[in-house]
Amino acid sequence: MQTLALSHEASDATLLCALSLNPRYKGTSAESLLRRARLMFIAQYPERFSRILAVAFPGYLE
């Protein structure tokens, strides 16, 4: 079965990127729930993900 590779190509870590939410959900319990749901999904299906999680913080530095 063909699947997407759920790991970062440089480190073999599963890369967690920022969630894009509708602005009306920022700072609400829905935002927190979505973050936790993503981690619970990974916990439910550990065989699909690397044992190492990496977090990407998009943005720029001056």
- Over the chain (62 residues), the average pLDDT of each successive run of 10 is 58 78 84 88 92 77 62
Place of tokens 């990127």: 17
pLDDT for res 42: 93
* In a domain? residue 5: no
pLDDT for res 6: 57
pLDDT for res 26: 82
Distance of CA 51 to CAs 11, 13, 62, Å?
12, 7, 33
Range of the domain at 34: 14-55
pTM, two decimals, is 0.63
- Number of Cβ within 10 Å of residue 43's Cβ equals 9
* In a domain? residue 41: yes
pLDDT for res 54: 84
* In a domain? residue 46: yes
* Three-state SS annotation for the chain: CCCCCCCCCCCCCEEECCCCCCHHHCCCHHHHHHHHHHHHHHHHCHHHCCCCEEECCCCCCC
Task: Please tell me the total count of domains within the chain.
Answer: 1
